[in-house]
């Protein structure tokens, strides 16, 4: 690992993106004998795993370039329940026992390709008036998240065995898969949240390009 690097990391579950940055910074600072400059190029939710691009030193100035690239995810959507955060970390509530058919699932997924409109989850790293939305949510402050237009280049059904839908989705930067999962559930006449999420590609880079193993805790 060099002072000015682009690192490809396979983020484990239960770790924040800022935690990844902190651990890389600690390891690089120890190696250099001085405080290292380290940044990420787009967050992954704590429950999610997969490819993160970390920049160090002079490469930090290029972080915005990497953050705007398209991404590919594999996700598991659970029907019939909602989550306050859209993922396993929230309060899970049973909503419906409706069991959509495989044909209905395929038809609905087709509706979510191309340009779509999303309202990002309040439990996100988006800044509202200078403060992270998830911090406002934890304080019980209600905010209106602005809608955004994103692109879904492809949305493939891997498997459907009620209540779980497994998909592979190729999206533009700024797309929230948690929101996509919830919107798919609503379109099916039920509810849903994202139980598993793994980022497998960023532009042409994939998990085969992982170049750095995270140091152990402690």
Neighbour count for residue 96 (Cβ, 10 Å): 16
Rounded alpha-carbon distances, angstroms, from residue 166 to 140, 143, 172: 32, 31, 19
Supply the angle between the helices 177-187 and 102-111 in degrees, to the nearest 10.
130
Could you list the active site residues?
45
Place of tokens 């209106």: 144
Please name the residues in contact with 83: beta carbons below 8 A apart, sequence gap of 6 or more.
89, 90, 91, 92, 93, 193
Reference 44, options 10, 78, 68, 77; nearest CA is 10
Tell me the sheet residues that pair with 194: 77
């Amino acid at each position: 690992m060099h002072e000015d690097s682009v690192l490809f990391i396979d983020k484990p579950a239960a770790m924040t993106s800022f935690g990844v940055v902190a651990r890389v910074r600690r390891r690089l600072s120890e190696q250099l004998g001085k405080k290292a400059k380290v940044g990420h190029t787009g967050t992954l939710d704590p429950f999610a795993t997969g490819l993160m691009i970390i920049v160090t030193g002079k490469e930090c100035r290029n972080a915005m370039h990497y953050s705007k690239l398209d991404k590919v995810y594999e996700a598991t959507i659970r029907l019939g329940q909602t989550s306050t955060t859209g993922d396993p970390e929230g309060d899970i509530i049973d909503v419906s026992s409706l069991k959509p058919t495989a044909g209905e699932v395929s038809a609905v997924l087709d509706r979510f390709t191309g340009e779509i409109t999303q309202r990002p989850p309040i439990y996100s790293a988006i800044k509202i008036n200078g403060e992270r939305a998830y911090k406002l949510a934890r304080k019980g402050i209600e905010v209106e998240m602005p809608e955004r237009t994103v692109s879904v280049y492809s949305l493939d059904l891997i498997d459907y065995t009620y209540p779980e839908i497994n998909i592979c989705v190729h999206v533009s930067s700024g797309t929230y898969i948690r929101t996509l999962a919830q919107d798919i559930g609503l379109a099916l006449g039920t509810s849903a949240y994202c139980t598993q999420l793994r980022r497998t590609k960023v532009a042409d880079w994939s998990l085969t390009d992982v170049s750095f193993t995270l140091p152990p805790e402690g």
